[in-house]
C-alpha cells in the first residue's frame, strides 16, 4: 500500500502502519507492506507505480492532511492517483475522516479534483460528536452480510445521530455555508500581520506561527478560552463547527489579532 509523508490514518491495527509517525507504531503493527512517498509529488508516484505497479494493492490519502498540518493535495495529484490506480488495478482509498462531511466546502474534499475514490473512510463529523464511523465502497466491491462486524457495529443510537446530522446539513445548507464562512475567515486571516502561510479549504484552515509568537495558541486558550487545534511544530489548525456564525468568526479574529499584537509587542516586533 502507498501512503504519503505526514499522513495520519489512525492509531488502530494497520491504520497506524499507514500513519507517518513512528512514535505511535507499536512493534506488532510494524510492516513492510506500507511505502511512504512524498506528498503531492506526481513524478515520484508515477515512478513507483511504473517500477512496482503489480505489487501495489492500494493508495490511501487525505485530500487535506489534518494532523500533517493542513496540507492540501493538488487536484492534479488526486487525478494522477485515480488514473494510476485504474491503470494498475489498485484501490484508491480517500481518508475523509477529518476533511470530509462538508468540512472543506464540498461533501468530500476529494470532490474538488472531480475524482471518485473506490473507498471513502468517514467518522468525526458523521455524528456531530457522537461516536460513529463508516465507509463507502464502490459497486465493484460485492457487499455481503457479515462483511464487517464489530461489537458496536450498527448501533441504533449512533445511526439515528448520523441521520439527524445529514438532515441538518441539508436543511441548513451547511456545506455551502462552510465554503462561504471559510472563504471569509481565510481572507481575513491573510490580512493579519504576524502569522504566516495561511491556507485551507472551507472550514479546514491552518497557518504557521513564528517562534516570536509561539505562545499564541496557549494564550488564546488560557486568556480567552478559545481552543484551536495544532500540528507540530508550529501550525495552528482551525476546524470550527460548520454552523459557526459570521459574528463568532469576527469575535475569534479580533481575539487572534489582539494576541498576535500583544505577543509581538513583547518581542519588540513591528506589526504594520
Q: How confident is the model at residue 135 (pLDDT cuts 50, 70, 90)?
A: very high
CATH class of 174-266: alpha beta
Q: How far apart are CA 84 and CA 29, in angstroms?
A: 28
pLDDT of residue 271: 53
Q: Which residue has the cell 503489480?
A: 54
Sheet of strand 91-95: strand arrangement? 35-37, 2-4, 58-61, 91-95, 119-122, 134-137
Q: Which residues contact 197 (CB under 8 A, 6 or more apart)?
A: 207, 208
* pLDDT above 70 for 254: yes
All structural domains of the chain with their residue ranges: 2-171, 174-266
Q: How confident is the model at residue 202 (pLDDT cuts 50, 70, 90)?
A: very high
Scanning 119-215, the segments in alpha helix (DSSP H) are 156-171, 174-190
Instruction: Give the number of other CB atoms < 10 A from CB of residue 178.
Output: 26
Q: For the segment 27-43, what is each residue's pLDDT rounded down to a tens digit?
A: 998 899 999 999 999 99
Buried b / exposed e along 86-99 (16+ C-beta atoms within 10 A): eebebbbbbbbbbb
CATH class of 2-171: alpha beta
Q: How confident is the model at residue 259 (pLDDT cuts 50, 70, 90)?
A: very high
Rounded to the nearest integer, the mean pLDDT of the chain is 94
CA-based max dimension of the chain: 65
pLDDT of residue 183: 97
The grid cell for 205 is: 484552515
Q: How far apart are CA 246 and CA 201, in angstroms?
A: 17
pLDDT of residue 144: 84
Amino acid at each position: 500500500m502507498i501512503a504519503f509523508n505526514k499522513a495520519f490514518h489512525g492509531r488502530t491495527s494497520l491504520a497506524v502502519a499507514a500513519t507517518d509517525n513512528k512514535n505511535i507504531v507499536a512493534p506488532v503493527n510494524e510492516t513492510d507492506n506500507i511505502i511512504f512517498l512524498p506528498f503531492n509529488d506526481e513524478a515520484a508516484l508515477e515512478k513507483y507505480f511504473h517500477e512496482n505497479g503489480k505489487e501495489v494493492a492500494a493508495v490511501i490519502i487525505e485530500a487535506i492532511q489534518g494532523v500533517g498540518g493542513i496540507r492540501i493535495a493538488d487536484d492534479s495529484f488526486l487525478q494522477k492517483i485515480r488514473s494510476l490506480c485504474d491503470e494498475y488495478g489498485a484501490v484508491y482509498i480517500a481518508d475523509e475522516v477529518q476533511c470530509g462531511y462538508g468540512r472543506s466546502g464540498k461533501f468530500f474534499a476529494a470532490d474538488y479534483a472531480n475524482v471518485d475514490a473506490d473507498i471513502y473512510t468517514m467518522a468525526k463529523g458523521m455524528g456531530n460528536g457522537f461516536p460513529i464511523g463508516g465507509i463507502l465502497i464502490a459497486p465493484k466491491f460485492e457487499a455481503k452480510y457479515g462483511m464487517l462486524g464489530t461489537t458496536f457495529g450498527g448501533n441504533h443510537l449512533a445511526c439515528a445521530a448520523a441521520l439527524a446530522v445529514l438532515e441538518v446539513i441539508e436543511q441548513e445548507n451547511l456545506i455551502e455555508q462552510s465554503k462561504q464562512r471559510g472563504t471569509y475567515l481565510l481572507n481575513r486571516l491573510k490580512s493579519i500581520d504576524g502569522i504566516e502561510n495561511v491556507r485551507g479549504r472551507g472550514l479546514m484552515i491552518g497557518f504557521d506561527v513564528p517562534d516570536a509568537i509561539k505562545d499564541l495558541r496557549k494564550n488564546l486558550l488560557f486568556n480567552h478560552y478559545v481552543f484551536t487545534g495544532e500540528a507540530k511544530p508550529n501550525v495552528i489548525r482551525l476546524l470550527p463547527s460548520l454552523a459557526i456564525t459570521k459574528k463568532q468568526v469576527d469575535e475569534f479574529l479580533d481575539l487572534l489579532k489582539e494576541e498576535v499584537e500583544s505577543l509581538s509587542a513583547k518581542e519588540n516586533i513591528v506589526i504594520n
